[in-house]
Amino acid sequence: MFGAPATRQSTLGTDTLFPVTSDCASILRLPLDQLPDPLPITPIARRAGQSPVALTLRPPGSKSLTNRALLLAALAEGTSTIRHALVGADDAERMLEAVEQLGARVQRVDRSTLRISGVGGSWRVYPDGVALFLNNAGTATRFLAAAALLATGPITIDGNERMRQRPLGELVSALRTLGARVEELGKPGCPPVRITPPPDSQPSVATLKFGPTQSSQFISGLLMAASCLPDGLTIDLGPEPTSASYIGMTVRLLDQVGVRVRTSEQMRLIRVLPGLSAFDLDVEPDASGATYFWAAAALLPGAAVRVTGLDAHSMQGDAGFPEQLGRMGAGVRRSEDEENPWVECRGPDSLAPTLTDMGSMPDATMTLAVCCAFASGTSILRGVRTLRVKECDRIDALQTELGKLGVTIECNVNADSDVMTITPPSEGGRIGVASKPGAARVEFDTYDDHRMAMSLALVGLRRPNVWIRNPRCVEKTYPDFWRDLACLYS
């Protein structure tokens, strides 16, 4: 079945037939700088008796794992090799440019393989300092701010207008506790900041304590920097750490590259011991990027999308997204062959509403929200509070954009900022976003947010007359997204 051509025309439930022409696929395959803006997305459907969409793909390397690996390789003693890295995406390129400024040497072997010669635990910074501009790369900004503890001089961390609104205050406080001098050069608690490390990178305390934070990246950055501190570092996370799955990813990666890590039960206490040597690493496919294609299958009855390279042992919380779709009625299968892992989702006749916690996979919330817009009732999502401080305020953005379809999103349910409800429109006794050919034109704003663009594009697979503004913003983490989406059509 897999590898067979996708269908050209179909029905969705009892809706009228929507033709799928090759024009949409041809447009989606254009280079990013040649895409029309706004970008039209054409519905995919099939006629009775025709084979449903069947697609197998491997997304690019995980952004979260790539940027962690880049930082660790740049700090390590010796030359590391990183395969299947997310090369060419803006977030990763910002990190690569920054570590080169700080003294690491980068060799690009091919499109996804890097060799990085590290600095042996100490960034090479002149006494007058160095300035790093990281655009809107949250991982690079938080990780490098934490790793500024390891420099021989001051490091200034800055970004674009949105990055200057994103929180850094809890990390700033932690760095000061460790003995660094931090000057806040703009809005307090946000970039730009100038960080002068403590003498000899020797922290003034051995243990840091945190409660819930605005971003788990503060913790991950400190854990990775700890591998090069003279005596390592212990972090007490308390009983409810933010986005614990991402902290777990960092701990597992440190262990995989040979850093000694000790954790208590439920990872409340984490102790990182000093010692970081060069390593070889294969980066997993990006599970966040895979969510869009699993969701595409769930939205198209009978469609099947298989993502290769991911299994039940993935370090990424988003690799559990198919089970979220399974609770809504989608079929989910996982390979039993450990040498050739894959995860497949198959579209049901209709999607049921869901009650779920997205705390372990916040970046997949927008993907699931689009699926909920086509469900047969109100869905309740928990674990969403961190969406306020991402590339945009993603909760406000979802309210506005899905509101254009008649979807109602309520936040602060029962005064809980971590909960939102999603209620599809209802018309003539039918619940869910209408998919009729005469649907009015809808142009979705994307807020220069790659995940908003990729999530909202899924609406167009079911609803006619959908257009995506600023489609180029996907280059932040998934430059080939539109080309891969085109594979659903052909």
Annotated catalytic residue 484: no
Exactly one of 363, 418, 448, 449 is catalytic; name it: 363
Report residue 298 as tokens.
């769930």
Going by their DSSP bridges, the two strands 280-282 and 207-209 should be labelled as unpaired
Task: Judge residue 268's burial from the number of C-beta atoms within 10 Å of its C-beta, 0-12 exposed, 13-18 middle, 19 or more buried.
Answer: middle
Q: What amino acid occupies position 329?
A: G
E-only strand ranges, 66-119? 79-83, 105-110, 113-117
> Distance (Å, rounded) from C-alpha 349 to C-alpha 467?
25
Q: Which of 144, 148, 125, 233 is nearest to 197 (CA)?
A: 148
Torsion of Cα atoms, 265 then 267 then 268 then 274, to 10°: 120
Q: Which of 300, 152, 270 is nearest to 208 (CA)?
A: 270
Q: What amino acid occupies position 459?
A: V
Task: Name residue 344's beta-bridge partners.
Answer: 306, 333
Q: In what order do the strands lie in the sheet with 54-57?
A: 54-57, 304-308, 342-346, 331-334
* C-alpha angle 146-149-150 in degrees, rounded to nearest 5: 115
| End-to-end Cα spacing for the chain | 14
E-only strand ranges, 29-69? 39-41, 54-57
> Distance (Å, rounded) from C-alpha 142 to C-alpha 344?
34
Answer positive or negative: Cα dihedral of 404, 405, 411, 414: positive
Report residue 9 as tokens.
């025309």
Other CB atoms closer than 10 Å to residue 300's CB: what's the count? 27
> Distance (Å, rounded) from C-alpha 89 to C-alpha 91?
6
DSSP string over 395-460: HHHHHHHHHTTT-EEEEEETTEEEEEEEE--EETTEES----TTPPPEEE--TT-HHHHHHHHGGG
Going by their DSSP bridges, the two strands 269-272 and 331-334 should be labelled as unpaired
Q: Are 314 and 479 in contact (CB under 8 A)?
A: no
DSSP string over 243-269: THHHHHHHHHHHHHTT--EEE-GGGSE
Report residue 332 as tokens.
């989910």
- Any idea which residues carry the catalytic annotation? 363
